A = this chain, B = another copy of it.
């Protein structure tokens, strides 16, 4: 699994969640996780979460830290499981690195979301392209421009680029470790 932090900021509008985005736009080939900072504003035409579509949800934020994961040869179930692993890894990381701010309180992962009490840090969706499964995961960098009560990396006093590099490293390690776990075990009856 390759990774890339894209220095240039750009907005996420949902159209980035397409197969080979990392390869065709940023030269990152194969299973990958990429990250960048930018606004978030997803029109209904690009919204893929049926629940959000039915709820006519507004998904906006002035500045988020975005991640797109793409893996090949897996079904959507595995994609959703990896999405939640990423949320879990992020929660554990933020808990540790924002300990001073959190002051003994716990961040909570619920499904693919991370919360601090009723403040929502993140949004995420996992979906399927004809050649891959893909995850978008994003955390607020700021609380500006969000339609609900949010938590942001600014609140946690964390540097987005550093968080991105660290989380991508942790996720790559986990992914590789999961893969190895499928190749070193004897079958049972």
Residues of A within 8 A of B (CB): 17-20, 23-24, 27, 29-31, 48-51, 53-54, 72-85, 88, 92, 95-96, 104, 106, 108-109, 111-112, 125-132, 134, 174, 177-189
State the oligomeric state as a number of copies: 6
User: A19 to B48, alpha carbons, bound, how many Å?
Assistant: 12
CB pair A134–B188 under 8 Å, yes or no, is: yes
Partner of A129, one of B50, B174, B181, B187: B187
Contact B80 A19 (CB under 8 A): no
Assembled-state Cα–Cα distance A72/B166 (Å): 29
**In whole angstroms, how far apart are the Cα atoms of A20 and B48 in the complex?**
11
A123 to chain B, nearest CB (A): 14
Residues of B within 8 A of A181 (CB): 80, 83, 111-112, 126
CB neighbours (8 Å) of A188 from chain B are 17-19, 48, 127-129, 134
Q: Which of B18, B96, B106 contacts A189 (CB 8 A)?
A: B18
Task: List B contacts of A83 (CB < 8 A).
Answer: 181
Top 10 A-B pairs, shortest CB-CB distance: A130-B187, A81-B81, A50-B184, A88-B88, A48-B186, A76-B182, A78-B78, A80-B181, A30-B183, A127-B185
